[in-house]
Amino acid sequence: MKQWREPVVTTYSRANKRPAFHVLISCLLSLRTRDEQTAAASARLFAAARTPEAIANLPVPLIEKLIYPVGFYRTKAKTLVAVCRTLLEQHGGKVPAGIDELVKLKGVGRKTANLVVTLGYGKPGICVDTHVHRICNLWGYVKTKTPDQTETALREKLPREYWIEFNDLLVTFGQNLCKPVSPFCSRCRLAFMCPRIGVARWR
């Protein structure tokens, strides 16, 4: 896995002194957006404003300009301001450390909440995005229909010691080798044991 670039949200969790907040903002920017665009947009935004107070005080049009061309950048700009204001008004400017509180924030689902908990606070959690959900089912490790179902199944089955790193490994694996359409099975060291459930064609 070391030959490939790690997910951008993970990079920000290691590079910033306020990892939970930067993980939260980067993750909100990353939805429906490529990692390269997320990284560039996050860098521009954090160069202009690095705290909930600073982002909440930025004009929405300026945020739009800073984060463009991430997907749905206009909607995300408004979401960022709303989230930062909620943090200031209801949480003393701090990012909640629990999933139940995090999912109450505008635009935050279980995937984002788990990333904040694991990467921002180093607490146990399992972040399930499309790659984790797809690959776990492709392997036959779980048999689920939605990412939320996959998270529940993994919490029951996956040893707790692997929870935090599981997302990073499978996202990187899914982006570079086990691609959604025509994965590179001929290059994969796991091919000899992989049942390829639901895979119609591969390379």
pLDDT digits (tens, 9 = 90+) for 14-55: 766 658 999 999 999 998 898 899 999 999 999 999 999 999
Token output for 29: 């920017």
Q: Is residue 111 annotated as part of the catalytic site, yes or no?
A: yes
- CB contact burial 42-81 (16+ within 10 A = b; e otherwise): beebbeebbebeebbebeeeebbebbeebeebeebbebbb
Task: Check if the beta carbon of residue 167 is closer than 8 Å to that of residue 136.
Answer: no
Give the C-alpha separation, 106 to 98, whole Å. Answer: 15
52-78 pLDDT per residue, tens: 999 999 999 999 999 999 999 999 999
Q: Select the highest-mean-pLDDT range: 3-12, 19-28, 149-158.
A: 149-158
189-201 pLDDT per residue, tens: 999 999 999 999 9
End-to-end CA separation in angstroms for the chain: 19
Q: Which of 100, 111, 145, 157 is catalytic?
A: 111
Widest Cα–Cα separation across the chain: 55
Query: pLDDT band for position 13 (50/70/90)?
Result: confident
Q: What is the dihedral of CA 45, 47, 48, 51, to 10 degrees?
A: 80
Give the C-alpha separation, 95 to 83, whole Å. Answer: 10
User: Fold identical between 8-121 and 130-193?
Assistant: no
Q: Which of 78, 123, 129, 179 is catalytic?
A: 129
As a whole number, the mean pLDDT across the chain is 94
Query: pLDDT band for position 6 (50/70/90)?
Result: confident
Tell me the whole-structure pTM to 2 decimals: 0.87
Tokens 């990692």 found at: 35
Does residue 165 surpass a pLDDT of 80?
A: yes
CATH number of 8-121: 1.10.340.30
Tokens 């450390």 found at: 97
Does residue 203 surpass a pLDDT of 80?
A: yes
Give the C-alpha separation, 200 to 73, whole Å. Answer: 34
Q: What percent of the chain has pLDDT over 70?
A: 97
Task: Check if the beta carbon of residue 128 is closer than 8 Å to that of residue 151.
Answer: yes
What is the pLDDT averaged over residues 126-138?
96
In residues, how long is the chain? 203
Q: Name, in order, each residue with C-beta under 8 angstroms of 155's C-beta and a sequence gap of 6 or more.
A: 126, 163
Amino acid code (one letter) for 62 = L
Query: pLDDT band for position 111 (50/70/90)?
Result: very high
Token output for 49: 């404003």
Could you please state the CATH topology (level 3) that the domain comprising 130-193 is classified under. Endonuclease Iii, domain 2 (1.10.1670)
What pLDDT sits at residue 81?
98
The full set of domain ranges for the chain reads 8-121, 130-193
Does residue 5 surpass a pLDDT of 90?
A: no
What is the pLDDT averaged over residues 177-203?
96
Q: Is residue 78 annotated as part of the catalytic site, yes or no?
A: no
Tokens 């591969």 found at: 202
